[in-house]
Structure 1
Amino acid sequence: MQKKILVTGGTGFIGSRLVRKLVSGNHQVFALVRKSSSLAPFSGFLDQLRLVEGDVTDPASLDKALSGIDEVYHCAGYTYMGGDRNRDALLYAVNVEGTRHLLRAASRAGVRRVVHMSSITAVGMSGGRTPVDESCEWNFQDLGLTYAETKHKAEIEVHKAVAEGLDCVIINPAFVFGAGDVNFNAGGIIRDVYRRRMPIYPLGGICVVDVEIVVDTAIRAMEAGRTGERYLIGGDNVTYRELADTISRVTGAPRVRVPLPFFLAKPLLSLLKIVDSRKQVSRLFNLSMFRVASEFLYFDASKAERELGMNREPHEFSIRRAFEWYRREGLL
């Protein structure tokens, strides 16, 4: 039987790759879009897609959008880790309240299942280099990262919805590289190493995964994930030095050789502001992001491998594909 599938956040990085994969199937695929949304991410397959106008911050629009829908991939979210407190309200409105609105509308509409696209920041930090799994207790409180707090609270909303009878599965992608990252989220590191705008590296580490693995595993989560469970989607756990070395090797850029402990980050940032070096140094180098990057976010994704058939591949493959896509698109 042909299903009706709705994707929120379909114009975003992961959402657009998910929509691209879904339209190649035999189901009707709908994308929730705002009036201001650019449809460029749907280039090449827009005629295979049905657009529904709405916004996760507008509950009334969701009731109309979810009418008759069988399955929902909730990918809509606001990503910001720059430390600007003026953006906190938007983070909460989209990530927490928007998730609550979406889940309530899905329940009212009789949606069969929702897959909630969360984040590793909703899981926690490993602290050391030993990877943690889905049972990790959230421990971002001391970092003051509002984005992580909103992703954590969004998962609480999902668990409330499950307790009230809605069938939901949570997936937690790691640091995602790949084609389609036009806003240079994780891909910002590739760009900045390539352009020689990243003269230092933080002393922490991160779990890396390719966007296509995230998309494939999200679809498997819809098919086979257990209700109320969360699944980490990740691959190689690498230090930022190792990640920068890989990017240098793939792009041909010089290696990033200077480590920077977090306690030196604040005085260095102050110095950079004085000399106005914004064009020469990565915009990723802000105190909030550097604080997180000084920790280890290492994860064990064996549960997703075991239960959802998640694939693994060396992170260099993903870096290379992303870099080649950026060059083809003229974004570097």
Structure 2
Amino acid sequence: MARYLVTGATGFLGRHLVTSLLRHGHEVVALCRHDEPSLASLGVVVRRGDVLDAGSVRDAAVGCEGLFHCAGKVSRKPEDAEELRRLHVEGTKITLDACKEAGVRKVVHASTSGTVAVSEDPEHVGSEEDETPLGLISRWPYYRSKLFAEQAALERHVEGAFSVVSVNPTLLLGPGDVRGSSVEDVRLFLERKIPAVPAGGLSFVDARDAAEGMRLAMEKGEGGQRYLLSAINLTLRAFFERLERASGVKAPWLPTPRVPLLARRGAEMLGRVSSRLGLDVAVDPVSLDMAQYYWYVDATRAETVLGFQVRDPQKTLADTVEDLRERGVVWPASSWAAPS
């Protein structure tokens, strides 16, 4: 068994990854900014530090064979652009360089499918070899920062000396997202705060399966390559219909215009109207803009090379809903519903 350093171990994906590694008999060292008794209670070695502090990373990495770099932040707010750049891009450079100095031999870097798999074409299904859609990604600070972080990570790959693999999961769902970084849209659906159906499509994967995919990438992944992880591709209407079956909450029915500019202006107008009427509607122009596109993914490479497998996507949705309700995250639903 091996000793691995994990950054972002307290996050949604990182926590499931730690569980998977421990279950397979590996020793885990977690780089954390604070003491984490819940991790220590599992037998994880917790080291205080930060991905922007090379010394703390290097100290934590001593004796580790591999690094799982999962540290990051999910935000759609334009004002977070600089923080996202520093954490994702500079943090990746600092962390990987420090680990290389400490003798780490292989890195699995947690990226996102959004660095390659987003399109205006509903028939397009992204693969690892697609060209990066820079015209789209450059508009969204989160995906822009993740793209540059992924590039920085793969640039550090040295065949036979320092192997770097990129793992690119789609939207992460499932239980355990205590920070609401990935399942926020499901919460908003359950509270009926999404009054309209965007015209685009998404792809999602269970965070537990994505964690397994990362573990497999450490064992079998080829350095210098990326691996897309996905369970299913759905239009947003089909996604909401599946959520309705999983939760019993009525799905929104009103479509938004396919033209992104009109959708953004509609979101702004709806936000102003709802504010005046005292309604709580979670609509922001950036999210609605992103929802006009298609984020479809082909996970064949991960399935073939890594042996990546997924559970029933409907089970993932049911577990997500159950977890949100059990943790008391969901407030009573408002009055958005289809007309009778």
**TM-score (normalised: structure 2):** 0.89
1:313 and 1:27 map into 2 onto residues whose CA distance is 24
Q: 1:279 to 1:163 in 2, by over 3 A?
A: farther
Q: Which residue of 1 aligns with 2:53?
A: 58
Deviates more, 1:176-185 or 1:293-302: 176-185
Equivalent residue letter for 1:58: D
Name the SS of the counterpart of 2:214 in structure 1: helix
Equivalent residue letter for 1:20: T
**Residue 320, structure 1, aligned to residue 338, structure 2:** no
**Residue 257, structure 1, aligned to residue 253, structure 2:** yes
Contact 1:53/1:61, CA 8 A, preserved across alignment: yes
Equivalent residue letter for 1:168: V
2:302 to 304, 311, 315: 304
Q: Which residue of 1 aligns with 2:164?
A: 168
Contact 2:117/2:296, CA 8 A, preserved across alignment: no
Name the SS of the counterpart of 1:159 in structure 2: helix
Q: 1:256 to 1:267 in 2, by over 3 A?
A: closer
How many residues align structurally?
Answer: 323
Q: Which residue of 1 aligns with 2:10?
A: 11
Measure how far apart 1:107 and its partner are.
Answer: 1.0
1:147 to 127, 142, 145: 142
Among all aligned residue pairs of Structure 1 and Structure 2, give the percentage whose two residues are the same amino acid: 29
Q: 1:24 to 1:239 in 2, by over 3 A?
A: same
Name the SS of the counterpart of 1:162 in structure 2: coil
Measure how far apart 1:3 and its partner are.
Answer: 2.0
Contact 1:168/1:228, CA 8 A, preserved across alignment: yes
Contact 1:141/1:149, CA 8 A, preserved across alignment: no
1:158 and 1:183 map into 2 onto residues whose CA distance is 26
Task: Report matched runs for 1:1-332 at 5 Å.
Answer: 2-35=1-34, 39=36, 42=38, 46-82=41-77, 84=78, 86-128=79-121, 129-142=123-136, 144-163=139-158, 165-261=161-257, 262=260, 263-273=262-272, 275-276=274-275, 280-282=280-282, 285-332=283-330
- How large is the RMSD of aligned CA atoms in angstroms? 1.9
Q: Which residue of 1 aligns with 2:336?
A: none
2:84 and 2:225 map into 1 onto residues whose CA distance is 24
Could you list the structure 1 runs, at least 4 aligned residues long, displaced by more than 4 angstroms after superposition.
none
Name the SS of the counterpart of 2:234 in structure 1: strand
Deviations for 1:26-49, whole angstroms, at most 9, x for unmatched residues?
A: 2221111003x7x48x36x72411
Measure how far apart 1:278 and its partner are.
Answer: 7.8
Measure how far apart 1:126 and its partner are.
Answer: 3.4
Deviates more, 1:182-191 or 1:297-306: 182-191
Equivalent residue letter for 1:286: D
Gaps of 5+ in 1: none
Q: 1:210 to 1:142 in 2, by over 3 A?
A: closer
1:102 and 1:234 map into 2 onto residues whose CA distance is 27
Q: 1:156 to 1:268 in 2, by over 3 A?
A: closer
Contact 2:5/2:29, CA 8 A, preserved across alignment: yes
Deviates more, 1:193-202 or 1:122-131: 122-131
**TM-score (normalised: structure 1):** 0.91
Contact 2:263/2:289, CA 8 A, preserved across alignment: no
Contact 2:117/2:297, CA 8 A, preserved across alignment: no
Deviations for 1:78-102, whole angstroms, at most 9, x for unmatched residues?
A: 21112x2x31111111100000001
Deviates more, 1:132-141 or 1:20-29: 20-29
1:17 and 1:329 map into 2 onto residues whose CA distance is 17
